[in-house]
Structure 1
Amino acid sequence: MTGRWRSAAERERDAEVAALTPDYQAEIARGTDRFFEPRRDTCPACEGDRLEVWVTGADLVQLKPGEFTLERCAGCGHVFQNPRLTPEGLGFYYRDFYDGHGAGAAEAVFAGKAEPYHDRARMVRPFTTPKRWLDVGSGHAHFCRGAREILPDTTFDGLDQGAAIEDAATLGWIDRAYRGEFPEFAAELRGQYDVLSMHHYLEHTRDPWAELDLAADVLPDGGFLLIELPDPECRLGRRLGRYWMPWFQPQHQHMMPIGNLKKALADRGLTPVAEQRAEADQGNDLTLSSYLFLATLAPRSPTPWRPRKARLAGLRGAAVWTVGIPWLVLASLLDRTVNRRMVRKHDRGNAYRVLARKEAA
């Protein structure tokens, strides 16, 4: 409670924090305003000018400094970060999240329940038995690992910018790893896969419509594109405000309503053939929002961008989490009962899936 005793793992973590701290402190001293582009006055989806502030928030996961705003277009419902981060800004906030200092935490999250991965694979089975499947934005490739259990005869490959995608190939979770950005490999990938998937990928991109253009070009006629996205029309999104996990600032750049996505797909010759809304809900809104709130009161460990603990931080943390853990248990129970019933009743949860087929030109 006083923070004096350290396990071997904690001592290793403290040494890593100490090594990374000088560079982070130098960057933070220069301010975070330089990480933003000028605010735009029109919607990037429809060019409408009726914009309203939807959510303002901070980095509640890593607790890096900065304030972020999501605005909503009153015309088409598209929600987007405004002002948007520059590529340099994205690099700052992504650093040490999926790789580096935060790799262990990210791995623990993605290595959770396999059921959502199974459900995604099952969504495709009524329409095709794919020979080759490419997962774009595959991260640690946990989806591919889980999907193999449903489609054992399918070859699964993964594409991502992080080093974890190469580790996944070494572990045998995917057959081939493409490390980099989707546009870099588009010409090489054209016509090679009968299914492409983008699970919680488009919301991270600076131009999701360009990514859909590439997907339509890469797929052969009759191929399928499976997309899963956070649902900005979720009833709890506004009620939980900045603590609703799918807003996930500053990483999420665009939040597309399902109607907008289906129209964008159709405009590119991709016909939606199936969708899931309640079935795609991850059943954790109240639990994760509670955790984010508690973690802002009492962060669990120091980081290179927040290395110093307040005096008696151990005592404060013990007090917050003594109350907080029962709170999290209650929130989990509410997610499994009340929240689940509401999702099923309104057929709308915190995510949705759309499967589309590419038609012959």
Structure 2
Amino acid sequence: MIWHDGWYNTSCPSCCIVEELCRHMDESTPTHWENTACPLCDVEDATVLQRAPDRLYRCPGEFQLVRCRGCRHVYLNPRPTSDSIAYFYPDDYGPHHLQESKAAGEASSEELANERSPWYLSEIVRKIPGLRRSYYWLKDSQAEYIPNLDQPGGRALEIGCGDGGFLERLRTQGWEAQGIEPAEKPARVAQSRGFEIHVGTLQPNLFPAASFDAVFAWMVVEHLHDPCAVLSEVHRILKPSGWLALSVPNFACWEPRVFGTYWYALQLPTHLHQFTPRTIRMLLEQSGFDQIRLIHQRNVFNILGSIGLWLESAVPRLALGRRMIQFTDYPTMWGELTLAPCAKLLAWMRQAGRLTVIAKPTS
């Protein structure tokens, strides 16, 4: 398979990689590197698994994934320090952009709040027998989970809220929502939508204990330098009856084995961790959570993005590769519906490239 390259299984001193990374960086590049023990079990013994460049945003250098010999967690080592990693998030970083502007501009608040309302279809088309049932079945990717409110006014926090698109959904469903966003530009957009946004990261004692009914973190945990500390703080600020819902790429599925360094969800060096169902469960248990439920998402965005990255490398003049990559951030309705049967089959086989995880604080 031509996509499968860059896999290793050797031991290599991390200090050599740091020196190599520094040689690739321009003198003006504001980056610093650090070696780290396993962020989950603190064991320092690890095997080099893979070296790969940043194929998505093309930052200079080659980055190294290792697998812990203790708990088998896969993580980036060496890695950019928390003070310098922002350099690797470009201005056109997909999750920072307005992803629901079209929906928000064309639908009323009531229609956005009701996910069972295909507001873009005409009244005549909506009345076609079986159409709604088929549409709902195809469109449900299970990428995001919102608990039902017993009564309006439940307090919710989204970590890594971007421009506030998901906060908008929470608000229209009766939640009192606020967010945390480290990037200033999307945070300002979310604030302009009327949300209270803390610019930065979740720090100890930023909120009182037991102050939220739900905390959300969509595709965030793989970016954290100390996920145990952050999720332990989430445990502290959640009410005993509260919910944590998050999502992560699934390193245990077939995709990384087939696509190798072209796997879209690899995204080195901003993805500091590559979780599997076992290691994300282990992380949550260590952080004080139980009743953990893992859902294989019904989408194939990673596959499209991976093929797009390979096409960009193999046939640079072909625009199709870039269009496939852009689809992962700005999917079209008909594109999603067309790909839905394949996505549902992979989810049923428990081979989806992304996981939605739901958990409750240990009582």
TM-score of the pair, normalised by structure 1: 0.70
Counterpart in the other structure of 2:304: 287
Q: Secondary structure at the match of 1:145?
A: helix
Q: Give 1:136's aligned amino acid.
A: I
For the pair 1:348 / 2:351, whether they are aligned, the reply is yes
Q: Give 1:56's aligned amino acid.
A: R
Q: Give 2:358's aligned amino acid.
A: L
Q: Identity rate of aligned residues, in percent?
A: 20
For the pair 1:242 / 2:261, whether they are aligned, the reply is yes
Q: Secondary structure at the match of 2:97?
A: helix
- Measured after TM superposition, the shift of residue 348 of structure 1 is 2.7
Report if the CA contact (8 A) 2:251-2:276 is conserved. yes
For the pair 1:86 / 2:81, whether they are aligned, the reply is yes
Cα distance in 1 between the residues matched to 2:272 and 2:325: 31
Report if the CA contact (8 A) 1:32-1:66 is conserved. no
Cα distance in 2 between the residues matched to 1:328 and 1:160: 22
Counterpart in the other structure of 2:154: 131
- Measured after TM superposition, the shift of residue 135 of structure 1 is 0.3
For the pair 1:62 / 2:61, whether they are aligned, the reply is no
Report if the CA contact (8 A) 1:287-1:328 is conserved. no
Partner of residue 187 from structure 2, selected from 130, 144, 165: 165
Cα shift readout 1:179-219 (whole Å, capped 9, x = no counterpart): 111006x3434322111111111111111111111111111
Partner of residue 32 from structure 2, selected from 23, 30, 35: 35
Moved more, 349-358 or 46-55: 46-55
Counterpart in the other structure of 2:200: 180
* Unaligned residue ranges in structure 1 (runs of 5+): 1-26, 299-315
Report if the CA contact (8 A) 2:145-2:245 is conserved. no
* Unaligned residue ranges in structure 2 (runs of 5+): 1-23, 104-114, 116-138, 328-334
Report if the CA contact (8 A) 1:265-1:272 is conserved. no
Cα shift readout 1:31-75 (whole Å, capped 9, x = no counterpart): 87963224x5x5332345663333321122221211111112354
Q: Secondary structure at the match of 2:212?
A: coil
Q: Whose strand proportion is higher, 1 or 2?
A: 2
RMSD: 3.7
Structure 1 residues 296-311: aligned runs within 5 Å = 296=313
Q: Secondary structure at the match of 2:85?
A: helix
Q: Whose helix proportion is higher, 1 or 2?
A: 1
Counterpart in the other structure of 2:240: 221
Partner of residue 319 from structure 2, selected from 318, 321, 324: 321
- Measured after TM superposition, the shift of residue 170 of structure 1 is 1.2
Counterparts in 2 of 1:104 and 1:80: CA distance versus 1, 3 Å: closer
- Measured after TM superposition, the shift of residue 236 of structure 1 is 0.9
For the pair 1:153 / 2:174, whether they are aligned, the reply is yes
TM-score of the pair, normalised by structure 2: 0.69
Report if the CA contact (8 A) 1:266-1:272 is conserved. no
Q: Secondary structure at the match of 2:162?
A: coil
Report if the CA contact (8 A) 1:275-1:352 is conserved. yes
Counterpart in the other structure of 1:21: none
Cα distance in 2 between the residues matched to 1:356 and 1:233: 20
Q: Give 1:321's aligned amino acid.
A: A
Counterparts in 2 of 1:44 and 1:161: CA distance versus 1, 3 Å: closer
For the pair 1:197 / 2:219, whether they are aligned, the reply is no
Q: Secondary structure at the match of 1:347?
A: coil
Counterpart in the other structure of 2:20: none
Counterpart in the other structure of 2:136: none
Report if the CA contact (8 A) 1:191-1:218 is conserved. yes
Cα distance in 2 between the residues matched to 1:219 and 1:54: 36
